[in-house]
Amino acid sequence: MKKFLTVTTLTILVLLLFVPSFSQGLKMKYKDFKGVKQEYRFFAGNSFEMLNLTDEQRDKIEDLQADQHKSMIEYLYKLSLKNFELAELMRKSPDEKKALKLVEEINRIKLDMEKSRISNHFKIRALLNDQQKKIFDENFGFGFGIGRNWNGKFSGKGFMLRDDCPFNDFDED
């Protein structure tokens, strides 16, 4: 009897905690959800299918992305080393001048990474025609969105701002 009461009490507590979180629900149909999953997969995979690229454009973009990825690996390695040096300096013998110098070097590496990223973005954009540039700017820009770039930050037009987003339905049902 004691076991039954304990299990029943725990079940009721769990239901009381979790049921309110599902009470609002989503104003979304299954077909809309399917589209969301497909679109997320599109951006998450860093695919350029939407642009209808020629084989030549695709090859050049893949080469640019490979070079960019290599340079980012090098930058991240340098950044990790500098961060480790700073941590070691602060742990063993904190010295303000040396620490500030390391912080400047770390920030210089981060700046170089951003410059490289922006440069690569415009190199890719230069390979596109006007119609492709419009699509590229809307979906692969530097704003927030559901796609992620090499370091995990969001990029793109912004999923919630898209016309086909099922979440921005402001109609009162």
Task: Name the residue among 35, 63, 42, 64 with its Cα closest to residue 135.
Answer: 42
- Provide the pLDDT confidence category of residue 19 given band limits of 50, 70 and 90: low
Query: Domains of the chain, with CATH numbers?
Result: 51-138 (1.20.120.1490), 141-173 (no CATH)
Give DSSP secondary structure letters for 77-145.
HHHHHHHHHHHHHHHH---HHHHHHHHHHHHHHHHHHHHHHHHHHHHHHHTS-HHHHHHHHHHSSSS-S
**From CA 107, how far away is CA 25, in angstroms rounded?**
44
143 and 157 in contact (C-beta within 8 Å)?
yes
Encode pLDDT of 55-73 as tens digits. Answer: 999 899 999 999 999 999 9
E strand or H helix at 155: strand 154-155
Scan for tokens 């149909």, then name that residue: 29
pLDDT tens figures, 101-143: 999 999 999 999 999 999 999 999 999 999 988 888 887 765 4
CA distance 23 to 63: 49
Q: Are 146 and 43 in contact (CB under 8 A)?
A: yes
pTM above 0.85, yes or no: no
pLDDT for 141: 62
